[in-house]
């Protein structure tokens, strides 16, 4: 969209310097700023040039210019972070797109710090020709004729069209990505990693690297095949000693020569890449001349077909390597003489010799191998002729008499097929001939206008090569005899290259041209692949590859070159071009698939930064290209496809777990955000079903003065309870004003996140700064989370120091938090003695998790031990459930019902019913209550100094302790905790106990009040509550003192707020003497169900 800009000049008042002086200073400052930029980029730890360096937050902006005038004084305090538009535009004008990774072929690294004056290339030289050279290659010259002969013109057309359509759709997607901002050199790897993130980028980048490396092996194998088959067959080291060993001998020759050539090429690349680049145009000229020679030869066949006779025995094609005359015998001076062909099929040279059955029954005929474009041979070549391995190449519609089936074929001069052929295999062999479309984007750093040149040049190159391939298929089928097309190594035409027989003026044009082009392509692969590996290594996303980021002083990737040569050698040892081609097809197809995915994802997400200059793309085209790539992978070879995907998957997971954290603004992050938004909107519909309920925790942490977590074990317990599932929000409150405390808040968040990483707590961190600590906790409980992803449970530590006078508000905050969770219908977990809880590294080998189920509050008490036992810390602990029976309860029936309930819940636990009968309120209870009320009164009414307050509290404590140790009180305490808790009630015992208690109550109260007159003034509600706490504590201690964890129902705070401090005392008494306690207060809704 064209946008109009108006530049308004503003005269700076008081500017007295001359323009020349001002410009000189500005230039010096710019150079200095550029050097600082470069130093910063060079010194970055991950080796990646910082994006946004020419844009915002550049501390190296021209500060002298910023403060020159007074017109912009209003903005001068923000100039350090927000530069002037004029400075920004000046920086952008001088922004040079440095190559990612290394700048090649620089003798002195410091020279690149100066202004780089590189001749920029246009579309034709920079993109079109390199793509043309990379696409056209070994398959065109060595295998295309054989593919046409085997698959037929129609099926070959389908193969080529599918592959070309795949690369064209990929080029459209690639053009969109390449024109969406500045693309440093790095080609497909850079584009995918910045579009799909480091995991996908690393996986696909390495796949592309492996594809390029195996392509180098394929080109080298093609070079040797041309050398040993068509140029100099006598140069073979291994010869076939017996019939049928020709293929094995050829493969061994490939291995030996391939190893030598790869060593030679590696040395050439190591010594000087500039020579390879200079020879690139020579190699390209060879390719273009060869193609022109093919088209010239086709035109010539229309009026003067070349003379390449083929010898047929019946309908079987004969190899002319072993004989000259295509006849059984010849007439010379009225004398019949047998030929060399006769001697190959018969046991002697005489006419009465015993000959091969098929040879005797069929005639030898000679036909033209290249009848010409006007001959109508196209109709014969339209259909496929797939065959088994080792079968004879036969001409259709040729008369033939079948001989004896027992005849041995070995040793006879037939043309045999060397591999079994079928449609999908041919797709795998052909696909490498359309790869190479990334050549232009790899050079984006050297282009004059990359955003214009890459789409135009790449699409034009693909269109040109697609036309060449499709036209060659039709022309080969129209000009060349079918048996010659199926003759892979040209044995029927005296060992000539089949394409060469069609070429004009001589077959040697094609042979020499293809030899040099395959050599050049091999060198280019060995040059490009190490640089790609070096770029991946310097990005730092794959830790074990970092060594390959180093190289020579001038940036040459030495270690990467050695690894590339080693992987290339694997392809050489495979030795068969037809076996190597499908391997690299997989890697290239996977790379192209992810290019299409990147474009489709970015388009569908409508990311604000997605603004490609190339407008002729659509997500449907990208999706079609991606589907076609995936289909072609499985068409070529389903097991190779699975192996390639497994390799990419392993690399992806490795980078995800071990790789460096990178934030590249990638599309997958955007996709995650979109998916999260969609899921949140779906979850918003209503509360989760009981079957889906799990504790979504808000963990309230306390921080010390250094913003460090006071109780790290709370996070350990969180990870044990959650095991990485569900939502965890770790929150904390800083007291103060946000403007003053924002730095401390950031520090606190970093500390908490670091601790979450150590404790393996997966969740989110939220820090609230509030003038009052109490309000901050309230904000967290109300507003933490988002939409349906809100917490339903609050986890906090018991305030151990609530009794300390200088911390008199901690208990008030705690009680208010309990009330607020109840009001918000959220569950509450309070961990007492949290510092005694186990770390994630500890293991309990035995012990119990005891649940004291006193009141039903939704079943959380049952669910929590089950969740804890999923974690390895608690796995070997047994679960025990205790419930309390009152006087009117049938404890035997209660136990049976509870066991049945647990059976339906699918929980394994021991069950015990504990009976608590009514008895007198003990003197210990009265003393506890009295001490609690006196302490409360003292803190409310006495306005004493801190020291006096502590002294007074100590006196009260001493007095109560003394009275508590009286013999009568001891007897009462002993009575309060019975030695034996009865486990069942009979009717008689129930009636007797009831009457006994009724009679003893009156006298008991009288006796007690006679002992201590001040007890009569106590609040009877508090006495009853303390009585319950003391009795229940005694029962729990009796049964669960040695349990690894005790879970208790947490009673609610009193409705009358005047008794809040008493509530804390009740809870303290209730849990006294226990090591690890988790007080549980349910949310009021069912969280566990017996239904499936």
pLDDT of 642 reads 92
pLDDT of 1085 reads 66
pLDDT of 461 reads 94
Which tens digit of pLDDT belongs to each residue from 619-659?
999 999 999 999 999 998 888 999 989 988 898 888 888 76
pLDDT of 528 reads 83
Q: What percent of the chain has pLDDT over 70?
A: 73
- Residue spans of alpha helices (H) in 348-449: 357-361, 423-430, 439-442
Measured between alpha carbons, how far is 144 from 222 in angstroms, rounded to an integer?
13
Both tokens of residue 944? Answer: 């004493």
Which tens digit of pLDDT belongs to each residue from 258-291?
999 999 999 988 887 777 777 878 888 888 999 9
Q: What is the CB neighbour count within 10 angstroms for residue 558?
A: 13
Residue with more model confidence, 395 or 408 = 395
Edge-first strand order for the sheet with 848-853 is: 764-770, 728-735, 697-701, 793-797, 827-832, 1077-1081, 1045-1049, 848-853, 878-885, 910-915
Partner residues linked to 915 by β-bridges: 885
Within 8 A by CB and 6+ apart from 790, the residues are 696, 727, 784
pLDDT, the chain, mean: 77
C-alpha distances in angstroms, 588 versus 215, 216, 372, 433, 784? 10, 13, 37, 11, 47
What's the count of helices (H) and strands (E) in the chain, helices before strands? Answer: 36, 15
pLDDT of 989 reads 46
Both tokens of residue 789? Answer: 């992803």
Measured between alpha carbons, how far is 716 from 81 in angstroms, rounded to an integer?
41
**Mean pLDDT across the stretch 584-607?**
89
pLDDT of 992 reads 52
Closest CA to 187 of 447, 479, 363: 447
Both tokens of residue 771? Answer: 């003038």
pLDDT of 473 reads 94
Q: Which helix (H) or strand (E) holds 417?
A: none
Both tokens of residue 370? Answer: 């290249």
pLDDT of 43 reads 42
Residue 155 exposure: Cα atoms within 13 Å on the Cβ side: 19
Residue 505 preceded by cis peptide, ω within 30: yes
Which range has the top average pLDDT, 595-609, 907-921, 935-949? 595-609
Q: What percent of the chain has pLDDT over 90?
A: 19
Measured between alpha carbons, how far is 603 from 639 in angstroms, rounded to an integer?
32
Give CA angle at 531 (525, 533), nearest 5°: 100
Closest CA to 1048 of 875, 859, 850: 850
| DSSP characters over 455-487 | HHHHHHHHHHHHHHHHHHHHHHHHHS-HHHHH-
| DSSP characters over 983-1014 | ----HHHHHHHHHHHHHHHHHHHHHHHHH-GG
Both tokens of residue 453? Answer: 């040149």
Partner residues linked to 700 by β-bridges: 731
Residue with more model confidence, 192 or 381 = 381
**Mean pLDDT across the stretch 374-396?**
89
Contact present, 213 and 228 (Cβ < 8 Å): no
Contact present, 431 and 163 (Cβ < 8 Å): yes
Contact present, 155 and 488 (Cβ < 8 Å): no
Taking 3-state DSSP, the helix, strand and coil percentages for the chain, each rounded to the nearest 5, stand at 55, 10, 35
**Helices 577-605 & 423-430, crossing angle to 10 degrees?**
80
Pairing of strands 309-313, 364-368: antiparallel
pLDDT interval class at 163 (50, 70, 90): very high
pLDDT of 610 reads 86
Within 8 A by CB and 6+ apart from 534, the residues are 101, 102, 548, 549, 551, 557, 560
pLDDT interval class at 298 (50, 70, 90): very high
pTM exceeding the 0.75 threshold for the entire prediction = no
pLDDT of 897 reads 82
Which tens digit of pLDDT belongs to each residue from 667-724?
677 777 888 888 878 776 666 666 667 788 899 998 888 888 888 899 999 988 876 5
Measured between alpha carbons, how far is 105 from 270 in angstroms, rounded to an integer?
11
Closest CA to 475 of 295, 300, 308: 295
pLDDT of 3 reads 46
Closest CA to 236 of 261, 255, 211: 255
Closest CA to 100 of 547, 459, 557: 557
Both tokens of residue 53? Answer: 């360096």
* C-alpha dihedral (740, 742, 748, 753), degrees to nearest 10: 180
Three-state SS string across 60-120, please? CCCHHHHCCCCCCHHHHHHCCCCCCHHHHHHHHHCCCCCCCCCCCCCCCHHHHHCCCCCCC
Both tokens of residue 437? Answer: 């479309």
pLDDT interval class at 66 (50, 70, 90): very low
Contact present, 873 and 722 (Cβ < 8 Å): no
Measured between alpha carbons, how far is 875 from 873 in angstroms, rounded to an integer?
6
Backbone angles phi, psi at 1049, to 5 degrees: -65, 135
Secondary structure letter of residue 578 according to DSSP = H
**Mean pLDDT across the stretch 510-526?**
88
pLDDT of 255 reads 92
Both tokens of residue 973? Answer: 């305490």
Measured between alpha carbons, how far is 1064 from 1067 in angstroms, rounded to an integer?
5
pLDDT interval class at 164 (50, 70, 90): very high
Measured between alpha carbons, how far is 172 from 164 in angstroms, rounded to an integer?
12
Contact present, 469 and 137 (Cβ < 8 Å): no
Per the listing, tokens 């984007």 go with 441
Edge-first strand order for the sheet with 364-368 is: 316-317, 309-313, 364-368
Which tens digit of pLDDT belongs to each residue from 806-857?
565 577 888 888 888 888 888 899 998 888 899 888 888 888 899 888 877 7
Contact present, 511 and 500 (Cβ < 8 Å): yes
Backbone angles phi, psi at 309, to 5 degrees: -70, 145
Contact present, 560 and 569 (Cβ < 8 Å): no
Partner residues linked to 789 by β-bridges: 786
Please determine, for residue 245, whether its predicted confidence score (pLDDT) is greater than 90. no
Three-state SS string across 515-576, please? HHHHHHHHHHHHHHHHHHHHHHHHHCCCHHHHHHHCCCCCCCCHHHHHHHHHHHHHHHHHCC
Which tens digit of pLDDT belongs to each residue from 1033-1058?
888 888 888 889 999 888 888 777 77
pLDDT interval class at 296 (50, 70, 90): very high
Secondary structure letter of residue 736 according to DSSP = S
pLDDT interval class at 195 (50, 70, 90): confident
**Mean pLDDT across the stretch 570-596?**
90
Which tens digit of pLDDT belongs to each residue from 857-878?
767 888 888 888 888 898 889 9
**Mean pLDDT across the stretch 783-791?**
82
Measured between alpha carbons, how far is 845 from 867 in angstroms, rounded to an integer?
18
Backbone angles phi, psi at 349, to 5 degrees: -90, 0
Q: What is the CB neighbour count within 10 angstroms for residue 879?
A: 21
pLDDT interval class at 605 (50, 70, 90): confident
Contact present, 1017 and 947 (Cβ < 8 Å): no
pLDDT of 103 reads 36
Please determine, for residue 582, whether its predicted confidence score (pLDDT) is greater than 70. yes
Q: Exposed (0-12), middle (13-18) or buried (19+): which is 307, by Cβ within 10 Å?
A: exposed
| DSSP-based three-state secondary structure for 623 | helix
């Amino acid at each position: 969209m064209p946008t109009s800009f108006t530049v308004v000049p503003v005269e700076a008042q008081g500017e007295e310097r001359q323009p020349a002086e001002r410009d000189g200073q500005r230039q010096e400052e710019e150079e200095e700023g550029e050097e600082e930029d470069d130093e910063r980029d060079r010194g970055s730890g991950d080796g990646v040039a910082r994006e946004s360096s020419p844009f915002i937050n550049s501390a190296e902006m021209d500060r002298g210019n910023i403060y020159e005038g007074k017109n912009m004084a209003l903005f001068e305090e923000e100039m350090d972070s927000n530069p002037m538009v004029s400075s920004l535009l000046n920086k952008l004008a001088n922004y040079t797109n440095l190559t990612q990774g290394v700048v090649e072929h620089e003798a002195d690294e410091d020279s690149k710090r100066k202004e780089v004056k590189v001749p920029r290339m246009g579309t034709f030289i920079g993109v079109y020709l390199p793509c043309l050279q990379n696409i056209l290659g070994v398959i065109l010259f060595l295998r295309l004729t054989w593919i046409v002969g085997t698959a037929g013109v129609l099926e070959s057309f389908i193969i080529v069209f599918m592959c070309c359509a795949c690369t064209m759709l990929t080029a459209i997607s690639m053009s969109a990505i390449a024109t969406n901002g500045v693309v440093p050199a790095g080609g497909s790897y850079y584009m995918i990693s910045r579009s799909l993130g480091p995991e996908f980028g690393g996986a696909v980048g390495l796949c592309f690297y492996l594809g390029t490396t195996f392509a180098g092996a394929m080109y080298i194998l093609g070079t040797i095949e041309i050398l040993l088959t068509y140029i100099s067959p006598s140069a073979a080291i291994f010869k076939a000693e017996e019939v049928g060993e020709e293929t094995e001998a050829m493969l061994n020759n490939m291995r030996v020569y391939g190893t030598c050539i790869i060593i030679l090429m590696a040395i050439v690349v190591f010594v000087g890449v500039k020579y390879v680049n200079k020879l690139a145009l020579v190699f390209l000229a060879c390719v273009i001349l060869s193609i022109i020679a093919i088209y010239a030869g086709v035109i010539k066949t229309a009026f003067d077909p070349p003379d390449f006779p083929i010898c047929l025995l019946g309908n079987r094609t004969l190899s002319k390597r072993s004989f000259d005359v295509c006849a059984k015998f010849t007439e010379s001076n009225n004398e019949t003489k047998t030929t060399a062909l006769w001697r190959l099929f018969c046991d002697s040279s005489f006419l009465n010799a015993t000959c091969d059955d098929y040879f005797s029954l069929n005639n030898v005929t000679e036909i033209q191998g290249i009848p010409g474009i006007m001959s109508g041979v196209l109709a014969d070549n339209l259909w496929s002729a797939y065959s088994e391995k080792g079968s004879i190449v036969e001409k259709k519609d040729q008369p033939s008499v079948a001989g004896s089936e027992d005849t041995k074929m070995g040793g006879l001069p037939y043309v045999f097929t060397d591999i079994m052929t079928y449609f999908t295999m041919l797709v795998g062999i052909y696909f490498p001939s359309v790869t190479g479309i990334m050549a232009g984007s790899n050079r984006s750093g050297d282009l004059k206008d990359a955003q214009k040149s890459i789409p135009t040049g790449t699409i034009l190159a693909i269109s040109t090569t697609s036309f060449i391939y499709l036209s060659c298929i039709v022309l080969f089928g129209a000009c060349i005899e079918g048996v010659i097309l199926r003759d892979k190594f040209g044995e029927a035409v005296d060992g000539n290259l089949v394409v060469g027989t069609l070429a004009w003026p001589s077959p040697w044009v094609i042979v020499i041209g293809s030899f040099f082009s395959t050599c050049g392509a091999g060198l280019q692969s060995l040059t490009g692949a190490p640089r790609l590996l070096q770029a991946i290594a310097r990005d730092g996303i794959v830790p074990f590859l970092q060594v390959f980021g180093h190289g020579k002083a001038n940036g040459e990737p030495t270690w990467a070159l050695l690894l590339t040569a080693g992987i290339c050698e694997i392809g050489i040892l495979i030795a068969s071009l037809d076996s190597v081609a499908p391997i690299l097809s997989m890697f290239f197809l996977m790379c192209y698939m992810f290019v299409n995915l990147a474009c489709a994802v970015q388009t569908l997400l409508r990311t604000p930064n997605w603004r490609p200059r190339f407008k002729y793309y659509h997500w449907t085209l990208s999706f079609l290209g991606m589907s076609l790539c995936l289909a072609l992978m499985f068409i070529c070879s389903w097991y190779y496809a699975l192996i390639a995907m497994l390799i990419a998957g392993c690399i992806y997971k490795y980078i995800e777990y071990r790789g460096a954290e990178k934030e590249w603004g990638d599309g997958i992050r955007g996709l995650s955000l979109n998916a999260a938004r969609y899921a949140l909107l779906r979850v918003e519909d209503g509360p989760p079903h009981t079957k889906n309920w799990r504790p979504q925790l808000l963990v309230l942490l306390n921080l010390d003065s250094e913003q460090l977590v006071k109780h790290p074990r709370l996070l350990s317990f969180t990870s044990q309870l959650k095991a990485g599932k569900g939502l965890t929000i770790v929150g904390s409150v800083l007291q103060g004003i946000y403007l003053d405390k924002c730095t401390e808040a950031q520090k606190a968040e970093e500390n908490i996140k670091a601790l979450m990483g150590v404790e393996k707590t997966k969740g989110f961190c939220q820090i609230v700064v509030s003038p009052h600590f109490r309000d901050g906790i309230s904000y967290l409980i109300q507003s933490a989370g988002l939409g349906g992803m809100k917490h339903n449970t609050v986890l906090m530590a018991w305030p151990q120091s609530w009794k300390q006078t200088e911390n008199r508000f901690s208990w008030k905050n705690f009680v208010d938090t309990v009330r607020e969770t109840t009001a918000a219908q959220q569950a509450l977990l309070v961990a007492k003695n949290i510092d005694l809880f186990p770390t994630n590294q500890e293991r309990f080998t035995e012990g119990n998790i005891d649940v004291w189920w006193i009141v039903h509050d939704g079943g959380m008490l049952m669910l929590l031990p089950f969740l804890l036992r999923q974690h390895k810390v608690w796995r070997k602990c047994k679960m025990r459930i205790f419930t309390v029976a009152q006087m009117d309860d049938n404890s035997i029936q209660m136990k049976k019902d509870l066991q049945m309930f647990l059976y339906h819940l699918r929980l394994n636990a021991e069950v015990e019913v504990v009976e608590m009968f009514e008895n007198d309120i003990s003197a210990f209870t009265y003393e506890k209550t009295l001490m609690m009320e006196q302490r409360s009164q003292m803190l409310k009414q006495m306005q004493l100094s801190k020291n006096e307050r502590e002294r007074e509290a100590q006196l009260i404590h001493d007095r109560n302790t003394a009275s508590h140790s009286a013999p009568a009180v001891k007897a009462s305490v002993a009575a309060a905790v019975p030695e034996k808790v009865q486990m069942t009630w009979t009717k008689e015992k129930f009636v007797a106990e009831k009457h006994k208690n009724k009679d003893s109550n009156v006298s008991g109260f009288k006796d007690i009040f006679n002992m201590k007159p001040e007890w009569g003034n106590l609040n009877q509600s508090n006495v009853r509550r303390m009585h319950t706490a003391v009795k229940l504590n005694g029962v729990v201690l009796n049964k669960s003192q040695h349990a690894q964890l005790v879970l208790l129902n947490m009673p609610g705070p009193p409705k009358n707020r005047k008794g809040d401090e008493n509530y804390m005392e009740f809870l303290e008494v209730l849990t006294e003497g226990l090591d690890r306690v988790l007080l549980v207060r349910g949310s009021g809704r069912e969280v566990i169900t017996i239904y499936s």
